[in-house]
Structure 1
């Protein structure tokens, strides 16, 4: 157990790189979704796109992990709730509202050539703010915002656990943390099993309000809590976490390869004329285990890239810096690209065109985020960027670590 220290907390450089990888993974998923269900796609292209899709499932859980990491790492135990929430409203929720309106206008105009009946605008816009469908990726913002609203409660629980762990010496403390995480992982796995194999039947049997509530379960923070917990574990023992992912790097790699091959087999085994990507859903127990192994492996990769530096680190740092704005904008850029690709006959070329679409979408959305950040009202559209977005440390205050350093 560490003694009290007055040194500044170090800047966690790998956070920005992880943001970049998460953004690229989500962009790849949505680019693949644009092509994989087209009627003229060849089976070989569909299979390869399914494998790429399965490879990128870590994107959203990684963003949840990073949210937990940053919230707990920057928490000094003196949280002023309303300033805390107000800052997140300005930096995260306001851009979400602006892009919700943009997607609402864009989809209405493309689909109907007009904005519909003005009398319906309040109802449809209100629906999009809580259950986004036009900006299909924006569901993540209301979900992650639940963690911000409830953060004082999470911080209190974690603090109580830490106080008990601090009575134990270093490695004994780490072993206890590992056991706690394992137990929570088992509970989360049970939740994923219920989500996959019981909740659909409950929705059908119960009907009414409960059917609607269960059908939107992917919008609830509780269905992603384990990744948030991993972020807290990393935050309170960053050096020990780094050693853990370095020491287990090879084993995480073997585990991921085995799980990835098996899940790919499951996807293909349950597919008929079209690929069934439901078997790669976030809320499935096997996908959960796959994502955790990949997240640990990815952190190791990022830690290696961070230490070696070079052009790769610079590129991923740039992407990570503007990843939030890029995330909000990428579906809009993809929508523009799809107006060109959808009329085309692409038989035999869906795989390369999907990859090209991914490259153009990622580059276009990051560029757009960079340009928007230069505007006087850019914060409304892309949040804070540059130094503010990368400020992954806090002022010097007494800090106490649960894990040995």
Structure 2
């Protein structure tokens, strides 16, 4: 924890709720991707499609939660003692190296018939810059941008914290959070209502950034700042989250209903259903995700008090989430291929797509997490999943801050 003058207290507590929140976020992402395999199928019934869509936009907090945790853990571990070059070196080894390995693995899996030659290398090189084939690797590009600009966020928040300390110690960084939130709402409006329709009026590089804004750190910046702000005064924010839980629940219900209404208006009774209505980058989803993050934080805090088998399992998933995230799409793809073969002999399976989705989700979660755990035990495994699970890692571990765990 950080005191009012921006200095570390002598003993840093382990923030156990972050482990639980990380595990929940990982589970949400795997479930999202599992839903995506069935919601668009031509033989999915309207009821199943809407059920899956309703679940889908309820669990869209996954990536924002990881960005939130990235801001929180980076500030917690590096406040006042950041060696930027060493920081980037460690982050590159633990994040970019696995990314460099998994990108060609997925390319071979998606295009097994292609011959490995110069043209193949060019295509893989393009995927390294803009990962469009492996639908989940864009997150690595997103999170590494936050690592690159972290010193600027750190200096700005340190300055803002010092200014508040001079005038009113009780205010902390609330003004920063409020103004950032208002600016972010405007950005979400522009992302949803303006940029898609005016991209062609901008120069080529701007058009490119608009087209791939879902992997641009600016469009997730609020969650990063929110995580960092909470870290400055952790105990106070725990009390705030508990104290305003009722009003937050009201916000969650209203915003979830709003997003559901948008989904119905956009899709109606037409199939396949369009899950893009649940994009994170629009104002209504911002309010939903924000309320969900606060609700999940409250759940995570309660989980740390109970310490039952469920919280231990979720924390374990969170611990190995980076490696599991990298491998889960491959396992999901293989399982779907097997399922398609089974469906030839069991065509009635399409009447139970909601149940099938959850079965696939559970299998993928367990296998991908076990794979990550096993790879963490192998010396060369760090090149596939980073250094997660290492027993001798220091407090300022170089793990991916959002995915995987930190010794905090």
Do they fold alike, i.e. is TM over 0.5?
Answer: yes
Partners of 2:334 and 2:326 in 1: CA distance: 14
Tell me the equivalent position of 1:403. Answer: none
Change (3 A) 1:362 1:6: closer
Given the alignment of the two structures, is residue 252 of structure 1 paired with residue 248 of structure 2, yes or no?
Answer: yes
Q: CA deviation at 1:207?
A: 6.9
Change in CA separation of 1:247 and 1:134 when aligned onto 2, cut-off 3 Å: same
Match of 1:10, SS? Answer: coil
Distance 1:18 1:386, change over 3 A: same
CA deviation profile, 1:49-80 (whole Å, cap 9, x unmatched) = 00110111000000000000011111232321
Return the alpha-carbon distance in structure 2 between the equivalents of residues 260 and 219 of structure 1: 24
Asked whether the equivalents of residues 99 and 328 of structure 1 are also in contact (C-alpha less than 8 Å), the reply is yes
- Is 1:37 aligned to residue 15 of structure 2? no
1:237 equivalent to 2:233? Answer yes
Q: What's the counterpart of residue 102 of structure 2?
A: 99
Q: Which residue does 1:181 correspond to in 2?
A: 177
Between 1 and 2, higher relative CO (CA 8 Å, sep ≥ 6) is seen in 1
Partner of 2:332: 334
Task: Please state how far the C-alpha of 1:131 moved relative to its aligned partner.
Answer: 1.0
Counterpart of 1:155 in structure 2 is: 154
Match of 1:363 among 356, 363, 366: 366
Partner of 1:274: 272
Aligned partner of 2:309 in structure 1 is: 311
CA deviation after TM superposition for structure 1 residue 389, in Å: 9.8
Is the 1:32–1:354 Cα contact (8 Å) retained in structure 2?
Answer: yes
TM-score (norm 2): 0.90
Q: Tell me the equivalent position of 1:143.
A: 142
| Contact 2:79/2:154 (8 A) holds in 1 | no
Aligned-pair distance for 1:274? 2.2
Q: For structure 1, which segment, 69-78 or 41-50, has the greater mean C-alpha deviation from structure 2 after superposition? A: 69-78
Single out whichever of 41-50 and 210-219 deviates more from structure 2.
210-219
**Contact 1:252–1:293 (Cα < 8 Å) also in 2:** yes
Where structure 1 has 5 or more consecutive residues not aligned to the other structure, the ranges are 395-405
User: Structure 1 residues 266, 119: CA separation in 2 closer, same or farther (over 3 Å shift)?
Assistant: same
Shift of residue 337 of structure 1?
0.3
CA RMSD between the two structures = 1.9
Is the aligned partner of 1:54 residue 2:49? no
User: Aligned pair in 2 of structure 1 residues 293, 388: CA closer, same or farther (>3 Å)?
Assistant: farther
Mapped partners of 1:153, 1:103: distance in 2: 34
Counterpart of 2:381 in structure 1 is 378
Q: Give the 3 Å change call, closer, same or farther, for CA 88–388 of structure 1 in structure 2.
A: farther
Shift in alpha-carbon separation, 1:389–1:120, aligned structure 2, 3 A: farther
Structure 1 pair 50/384, CA: closer, same or farther in 2 (3 Å)? same
Segments of 5+ residues of structure 2 without an aligned counterpart are 398-408
Q: CA deviation at 1:213?
A: 2.7
Q: How far apart, CA to CA, are the structure 2 residues paired with 1:356 and 1:88?
A: 35
Name the stretch that deviates more: 270-279 or 348-357: 270-279
* Partner secondary structure for residue 198 of structure 1: helix
Secondary structure of the structure 1 residue equivalent to 2:356: helix
CA distance in 2, matches of 1:393, 1:305: 25
Matched, 1:217 2:217: no
In structure 2, what is the equivalent of residue 401 of structure 1? none
**Worse overlay, 212-221 or 56-65:** 212-221
**Partner in structure 1 of residue 300 of structure 2:** 302
What does residue 118 of structure 1 align with? 117
Contact 1:325 1:383 in 2 (8 A): yes
Q: Answer with 244-253 or 54-63: which moved more.
A: 244-253
Q: Runs of 4 or more off by more than 3 Å in structure 1? A: 1-6, 204-210, 387-394
SS at match of 1:150: helix
CA contact (8 A) 1:41 1:350 kept: yes
Once the two structures are TM-superposed, the CA of residue 150 in structure 1 deviates from its matched residue by 1.3
Aligned to 1:290: 288
Gap change, CA 1:226 and 1:163, over 3 Å in 2? same
Contact 2:69–2:227 (Cα < 8 Å) also in 1: yes
* Residues 1:224 and 1:198: Cα distance change in structure 2 (over 3 Å): same
Q: Any conservation in 2 of the 1:16–1:390 contact (CA below 8 Å)?
A: no
| CA distances 1:194-226 after superposition (whole Å, capped 9, x unpaired) | 111111111234474433331111121101000
**Aligned partners of 1:52, 1:362: CA distance in 2, in Å?**
17
Q: Which residue of 2 aligns with 1:400?
A: none
> Counterpart of 1:398?
none
Count of residues paired in the alignment: 387
